Copies of this chain bind each other. A is one copy, B any other.
Amino acid sequence: MRIGLINIGDELLLGKVLNTNAFDLARWIGELGHELAFTLAIGDGIETIAATLRDCRGEGKDALPRCDSLLITGGLGPTQDDVTREAVAEFLGVPLEYSADAEVWLAEWLSVKSQVITEGQKRQLYVPQGSTALKNPVGTACGFRVDVQGLSVFAFPGVPSEFRTMFDLHCRPSLLRRDAVLLRKRVHTFGFAESRQRELFRGLKFPEGFRFSSLPTESGVALSLEAFVENEKIPEQVILLADVWEDLLSRLPPEYIVDREGSTLPETVFRLLMERHATVSVAESCTAGALGYLITELPGSSAIFKQGYLTYADESKNSLLHVSTETLKQHGAVSEAVALEMAQGCLAAADSDYAVAITGIAGPDGGTAEKPVGLVYIAVASPKGSEVKRFLFRGDRKINRWLSAYSAMNLLRMFIINDLQR
């Protein structure tokens, strides 16, 4: 099935709201084994909306890619700006019609708060003639569905939680495929440029129908290879997929693979520590908490994380972590020597199995020719030894801080793995 999405609302065109509904729907549709043909955001105007719908029914010159189902979100509220009901009626050439179901649902919803239907809300009780009102269990605006010349049109509210609930209730069941399943392999790499990876993958032959994607983010590059495979072909395709995936992984230098089973960096660090019944502590300067936040991202983190130190000032590095004043004076706070002493001091003070320290210049100010903005030292220590690495990030303050925190997670990951061999 090919599905089109039309998001209605001036707020999307004014840059007030990020269109997460389009992003979410794309994922759901893909995971259900169907295709999202397009997503279109337009303003709240009856004629604009109706013209678009006419094109989707095949009356225009197919400006929009063809689809079997059309989801419309937004424009179902009680105010005069909300014209999706009117626009669909105009497109169908029918009047709006009162829905007794809609009134029951709205009255029910309001009764929980001891409220009754207001004059303004009465608009929400009408749907285009010939359409079916659809219950909204988490809000005031009902949706509706209408089938016209092979095109199924669904109208849902634009509030993301309401959109999700109504999609699950009214669309998902009819999209479930019994003839095929999603076969998927995923892996994250960290610290290895996407363009260099692509060179390594040259000549890889992916099984027919499988889609490879490679997406760079702050937390590394997410690689995936996936396809919807018909039931009878599953056994052979599972083997083909496993083989090509093994080939792909073998082309990557192993130290850049976060986890061969596909876990993310926070998940992998968590697992490595849990397996060793080990704890980690942190000493953060420029990130001031971002690393502690990431380390505790998963539930149950209290087993692996006891405490950390945010030592933004030089005095704090000395008083809390016992970084020597001579080291600070001689090398400056952003230096290999200070990062190492921070990690070692943190390990001793927190009495943990591992300690990670970050010191750097996040920017935009504070850089010099010798120590530019983006220069960051990250150190890891355990009772068996310690190591430090220099980074030079080129983002803005926010990006530099999060890249520092993720790089520290990755350095900790590699340090734990290598620690056995020390």
Chain A residues with CB under 8 Å of chain B are 11-20, 22-30, 35-43, 45, 48, 51-52, 54-56, 59-65, 211, 213, 215, 282, 284, 287-293, 295-297, 299-302, 305-313, 315-316, 320, 350, 362-366, 397-398, 401
Contacts and interface: CB of A to CB of B under 8 A. Distances in A.
A62 B45 CA distance: 14
Contacts of A316: 306-307, 350
B299 A289 contact: no
B309 A313 contact: no
8 contacts: A12-B26, A14-B213, A15-B36, A63-B63, A287-B293, A288-B289, A292-B310, A307-B309
B41 A38 contact: yes
Given A16-B213, A26-B14, A312 B307 contact: yes
B61 A39 contact: no
B312 A296 contact: yes
Contacts of A364: 299
Nearest to A42: B38
B292 A288 contact: yes
Nearest to A38: B42
A17 B401 CA distance: 22
B284 A289 contact: yes
A312 to B, nearest CB: 5
A308 B289 contact: yes
A372 to B, nearest CB: 15
A312 B320 contact: no
Contacts of A30: 14-15
B65 A55 contact: no
A51 B61 contact: yes
A409 to B, nearest CB: 13
